[in-house]
Structure 1
Amino acid sequence: MKKTRRFLILLLLVYIGLWFALSGTGAGRVSLQLAAQKNSAFLARLFVGLGANPGVKGEDGMTPLHFAAYLGADQVIPVLIEKGAAVNARDNEGRTALHLAAYAGHVPAVTALMDRRADPEVRENQGKMTALHLAVVQKHPQAVRALLEKGANPNSREKNGYTPLFIAEHEELADIIVVLEEHGAG
């Protein structure tokens, strides 16, 4: 009941003046972030239909797709990409939505992005890490498995030459070591 009431209030706000979030430089970033918070494909379609730009970047370079990936909004991700969000757009730190989904360990979001041609070999700016490196560092074995099953390179190296397997061994992450070795890490 409480969720239904909140949802109805949200819809009421749309009809009585949420237009501010759809105008100006933000061009809907706020409204699409709200759709991601609710993991609502319906709201994402509604806001894009009202003029929200799914590819708009904030000052940090993040798009609504970055936000959806970090939150694990796997129902919103396909809508944003279908409506024009660039799946491999990079924020100011060089991270893609896939980096953020892997970092947060959101397997359905990782899968949704990889199914829509997210490039698992893109490297962020600071450590030159791939999404797979980040999933290992953050100790998310299921995200590691999802990335590998969708084609991530188990032997990619970050700026210091470390592979995901090296990191997993150094951190003594037995479950991740097994997954990496099952997928050809050496």
Structure 2
Amino acid sequence: MDVHRVSNHNVMDYNFDNMESKHGKMLPCQEDRFDSGLDSLKEDELVSEIEEMTLNISEELTQEYEPWRSAVTEDGDTLLHLAIIHEATDHAFQMIKLSHNHPFLNVQNHQRQTALHLAVITEQPQLVERLLKAGCDPRLADDSGNTALHIACKRGSLACFGVITQNSQQHITSMVSFPNYSGHNCLHLASINGYISLVESLVCLGADINAQEQCSGRTSLHLAVDLQNPTLVRRLLELGADVNCLNYGGFTPYHLTYGRQNEEIRCQLYEKTAQELRELPDSESDESDMEDLDSSGDELYDDIKFGK
């Protein structure tokens, strides 16, 4: 998944104007805008400023925590958020070490992103592990309802996915089934984006392969058909997906092959679908429903646009 598909609402304006620590030290200003650090991780000048900010307070860390932990940008980002975004890894490690089981680790910015969210977005699995072992809560959701695990599944981050699941065993059942605000759980997101290895791992972890997303009741198998992904369809069937499951409109996955070009998918599903469920259901809305299905395209399954 392209890093630039992180939605525009994740843009954060790191404006340090009028921000001052309790010791009267003005924090540096930065006029440029950054999209969760994804477009600016290598801005040498800004990284240098972040390091200087952290170094200026490093001598006080073991004696007075409040000025360090309470400093935030106008977008709600703490120094830990900034250190992660700009890959000031040593300083992030230091702050994490000094904040074991402290609420500071779970501070959410104005996009409700925690340090853990940002560590996954910036693909830093070592930081993800440090944060989780220090007490960061993996169940917290951002303003799209995504936990850090949702983001890992959406982005196809195998490393971060592995670290999160290995260090969140006590919450794993609820985490894999938890829907975001678009109605998608982690399995749906992995399926939508075609990450078959993540689909396999989620099912092994206990994810319900027949779970229906909340917008239109489609299972991962329905989604795989709509995305015309024969490899995923085959693997889901091997993993035990129910071909006879109906979405909220009364359609089986096989019904969704109508008007679609992939004959391999059609043949796979035809053989396994119950005979009485092979024909389209009779309904006054059948024609319009199928027109919607035919014109939907992959765009329908974007995590933000889905269900519009």
Task: Answer whether TM exceeds 0.5 for this pair.
Answer: yes
Cα separation, 2, equivalents of 1:13 and 1:101: 33
Cα separation, 2, equivalents of 1:87 and 1:148: 20
| Structure 2 gap segments, 5+ residues each | 1-41, 43-83, 275-308
Show the 5 A alignment for 1:110-129: 110-129=199-218
Partner in structure 1 of residue 177 of structure 2: 88
Partner in structure 2 of residue 45 of structure 1: 129
Using a 3 Å threshold, how does the CA distance of structure 1 residues 163 and 13 change in structure 2: closer, same or farther?
A: farther
Cα separation, 2, equivalents of 1:134 and 1:21: 39
Q: Which SS does the other structure have where 1:42 is aligned?
A: helix
Residue 23 of structure 1 aligns to which amino acid in structure 2? N
What is the number of residues matched between the two proteins? Answer: 180
1:177 to 252, 266, 283: 266
Cα separation, 1, equivalents of 2:268 and 2:128: 35
Residue 96 of structure 1 aligns to which amino acid in structure 2? N
Using a 3 Å threshold, how does the CA distance of structure 1 residues 149 and 12 change in structure 2: closer, same or farther?
A: same
Mean CA deviation greater in 101-110 or 86-95: 86-95
Cα separation, 2, equivalents of 1:14 and 1:41: 13
Show the 5 A alignment for 1:137-152: 137-152=226-241
Cα separation, 2, equivalents of 1:57 and 1:106: 22
Does the 8 A contact of 1:72 with 1:108 survive in 2?
Answer: no
Partner in structure 1 of residue 221 of structure 2: 132
* Residues 1:163 and 2:269 are matched in the alignment: no
Does the 8 A contact of 1:37 with 1:73 survive in 2?
Answer: no
Partner in structure 2 of residue 3 of structure 1: none
Q: Which SS does the other structure have where 2:236 is aligned?
A: helix
Cα separation, 1, equivalents of 2:148 and 2:104: 13
Larger relative contact order, structure 1 or 2 (CA cutoff 8 Å, min sep 6) = 1
Larger Rg: 2
Cα separation, 2, equivalents of 1:133 and 1:21: 41
Show the 5 A alignment for 1:90-105: 90-105=179-194
Cα separation, 1, equivalents of 2:125 and 2:261: 39
Q: Which SS does the other structure have where 2:199 is aligned?
A: helix
Cα separation, 2, equivalents of 1:120 and 1:69: 15
Q: Which SS does the other structure have where 1:172 is aligned?
A: coil
Residue 42 of structure 1 aligns to which amino acid in structure 2? Q
Does the 8 A contact of 1:120 with 1:151 survive in 2?
Answer: yes
| Structure 1 gap segments, 5+ residues each | 1-5
Deviations 1:93-136 (A, max 9, x none): 32110011101111111111111111122212221111211121
Does the 8 A contact of 1:72 with 1:101 survive in 2?
Answer: yes
Cα separation, 1, equivalents of 2:164 and 2:200: 15
Cα separation, 1, equivalents of 2:262 and 2:251: 15
Cα separation, 2, equivalents of 1:13 and 1:125: 41
Using a 3 Å threshold, how does the CA distance of structure 1 residues 16 and 40 change in structure 2: closer, same or farther?
A: closer
User: How does the TM-score come out when normalised to structure 1?
Assistant: 0.80
1:11 to 55, 65, 89: 89
Using a 3 Å threshold, how does the CA distance of structure 1 residues 17 and 115 change in structure 2: closer, same or farther?
A: same
* Greater fraction helix: 1
Using a 3 Å threshold, how does the CA distance of structure 1 residues 115 and 93 change in structure 2: closer, same or farther?
A: same
Using a 3 Å threshold, how does the CA distance of structure 1 residues 49 and 128 change in structure 2: closer, same or farther?
A: same
Work out the percentage of aligned pairs sharing the same amino acid: 26
Residue 170 of structure 1 aligns to which amino acid in structure 2? G
Partner in structure 2 of residue 108 of structure 1: 197
Residue 15 of structure 1 aligns to which amino acid in structure 2? F
